[in-house]
Amino acid sequence: RVMKRLTLIVAAMFAVTISFGAVSCEKYDDGRPDKSVRNEFNKMYPDAKDVEWDAEAGFWKVSFETGNQPHRIDHEAWYAEDGTWVRTVSEYPVTKVPQGIKDLLAGSQYGELPLEDREVEYFETSSYGKFYRFDLWQNGREIKVDVHESGEVLLASYDVM
């Protein structure tokens, strides 16, 4: 009878430990963000996996993944201290970029430049809208070109080295 009770207690403790381990899959390297920040993130990205929070430049940056292999997408979302969403940057293979965006780049002054890699960043921002950022090579230097969904193609930055 004592052994049966002991077995039940150990089994219950094990079940509780497993359930907490399954729920708590977030990492907090720089402390834990306010509940308002976490709630906004969970509302926007309920399917996020491998969530990791960092405090950076007065904001909370959260790195996470969505989808499953081979369709997994890496993301970084930024939030103000009060929970206001600022931007999300997602990495996509060039093959997943809409043809209209590729056509805008091809028709621009940067259209003949080779891609630096096979990944493209997709920005969703609260103040600048949505755009794709391509890393291209020009005269031995990397340049970043933004193609906005509105049709604008802009030089974002270039290496000076």
* Span 84-100, pLDDT tens digits: 999 999 999 999 999 99
**pLDDT exceeding 90 applies to what percent of the chain?**
64
Burial of 3 (0-12, 13-18, 19+ CB in 10 A): exposed
Of the candidate ranges 38-42, 67-71, 95-99, 156-160, the one whose mean pLDDT is the lowest:
156-160
